[in-house]
Structure 1
Amino acid sequence: MKLTIVGCSGSFPGPQSPASCYLLTAHDGERPWRILLDLGSGALGAVQKYMDLEDIDAIFLTHLHPDHCMDLCGLHVAVRWNPEGWGPGRIPVWGPAATADRLATAYGLPLDPGMREEFDFKLWTEREPVKLGPFTITPYAVNHPIEESYALRVDVEEFDGTGVPRSVTLAYSGDTDSCQGLEDAAKDANFFLCEAAFQEGRDDGIKDVHLTGKRAAEAATRANARRLLLTHLPVWTDPGIVVAEARAAFEGDVAVAVAGVHYTI
């Protein structure tokens, strides 16, 4: 499986990166499948560096804060108004119960039909897996101040050309503070993509919103994840500080996500 960091800036786009968006590509033995985890502010433009928009197989939203979902409004325009037509049909979008209405409101559309002619909205059921091509995506409720917020566990059974499937797991925190759901999502993951928006000592008075590098690493350790990639750092959070915090609490490999970087998992 290939992970592309489309956008990793926390809370709003930064000068070097859009907000949250991650492209996963895997092969099922017949064709490559491409899914997006979140499509936050500014991400739609960057997605087009790596793929044709018509090749999006599905979008999986962790929650409905704009830095994780708002560029679906731009994708709605691309689908609806492409002068050559849109060949693939409606794009499947998994998300919280309010997804369709929230996006329609953001764009100023009537709630019915809203964007339902462009997107096939599907609702998360906590810890109920969704199967799509080589991907199995399972949502875990996490600790963030919005009606529904999820970490996503992505299990992949991929064929690399030898005819023998290879199974790997990526866990993505979405936005959360420490909680059991996060650790369950990341249990034994090969790769843990985890937010670390806050810093120890600076943000201690803010609870139940975001992780620090230290708390992300503690979750990774308890989950027995093998590799930790810190993401969702706002422009005012120092990557060097959160990496140092994380390395003190996690024995595996630790790095910070950078937009445009690819990982093979």
Structure 2
Amino acid sequence: MWCTLEPDTDLRTVFDVFELPGAYRVGPFELTGVLLPHYVPNVGVRLQAGEVALAYTGDTGPDPLLATLGRDADVYIVDATDREAELLQPDRNLLTATEAGYWATRAGARRLLLTHFWPGNDREKAAAEARSVFDGEVIIAEEDLDIPLPAH
């Protein structure tokens, strides 16, 4: 199913459309999308230009591909929902902050940006839990956050 933002415009006439998962060259970037577990289709995305890399998990459960997606990323944006009921599910669809830190460590990421917090969760506690297993900088997603990327 294809949807548009405007009822009279097919976005394929304005943009190049790339099917995900997959790997593509988009301007100066290598864009890679990998299928990750969630209750609806979810593709984690990695953008890389030269040695600078940014990776984003979207909503996901634990999966070994998380280490590949975030490999050596300058910023790894990871779901840290910390939804207690999720831990009881046999097929997990969300991560905890500790798991976010674990996968960032496995990936060798330089910085971890925690996102997708469950309403009411303590974000500082989530950051502390991520830091317990990740030695790099842990950042909490917030509105208007600006994170400079290095010029390798």
Give the TM-score normalised by the residue count of structure 2: 0.84
Deviations 1:144-176 (A, max 9, x none): 111x2111111024xxxxxxxxx3001111110
Q: Give the equivalent residue in structure 2 for 1:169.
A: 53
Task: Find 2:87's aligned residue among 204, 222, 228.
Answer: 204
Does the C-alpha gap of structure 1 residues 116 and 154 become closer, same or farther in structure 2, counting only changes over 3 Å? farther
Does the C-alpha gap of structure 1 residues 251 and 125 become closer, same or farther in structure 2, counting only changes over 3 Å? same
* SS of match in other structure, 2:53: strand
Letter in 1 for 2:136: G
Q: Give the equivalent residue in structure 1 for 2:17.
A: 122
Letter in 2 for 1:204: L
Q: Give the equivalent residue in structure 1 for 2:105.
A: 221
Any stretches of 5+ residues in structure 2 without a counterpart? none
Distance 2:85 2:125 in 1: 11
CA contact (8 A) 1:151 1:181 kept: no
Task: Find 1:153's aligned residue among 13, 23, 46.
Answer: 46
Letter in 1 for 2:111: R
Q: Give the equivalent residue in structure 1 for 2:76.
A: 192
State the shift of 1:255 in Å.
1.6
Distance 1:138 1:254 in 2: 24
* SS of match in other structure, 2:25: strand
Give the TM-score normalised by the residue count of structure 1: 0.50
CA contact (8 A) 1:140 1:182 kept: no
Distance 1:215 1:139 in 2: 21
Any stretches of 5+ residues in structure 1 without a counterpart? 1-97, 108-113, 158-166
Distance 2:38 2:97 in 1: 17
Q: Give the equivalent residue in structure 2 for 1:237.
A: 121
Identity %: 28
Distance 1:239 1:230 in 2: 9
State the shift of 1:132 in Å.
1.6
Distance 1:228 1:250 in 2: 8
Distance 2:140 2:106 in 1: 20
RMSD over aligned CA atoms reads 2.2
CA contact (8 A) 2:70 2:109 kept: yes
Distance 1:136 1:143 in 2: 23
State the shift of 1:115 in Å.
5.3
> For 1:18-29, what aligned pairs fall within 5 Å after superposition?
none
Equivalent pairs, count: 145
State the shift of 1:125 in Å.
4.3
Q: Give the equivalent residue in structure 2 for 1:252.
A: 136
State the shift of 1:123 in Å.
4.3
State the shift of 1:236 in Å.
2.1
Does the C-alpha gap of structure 1 residues 116 and 149 become closer, same or farther in structure 2, counting only changes over 3 Å? farther
Does the C-alpha gap of structure 1 residues 174 and 115 become closer, same or farther in structure 2, counting only changes over 3 Å? farther
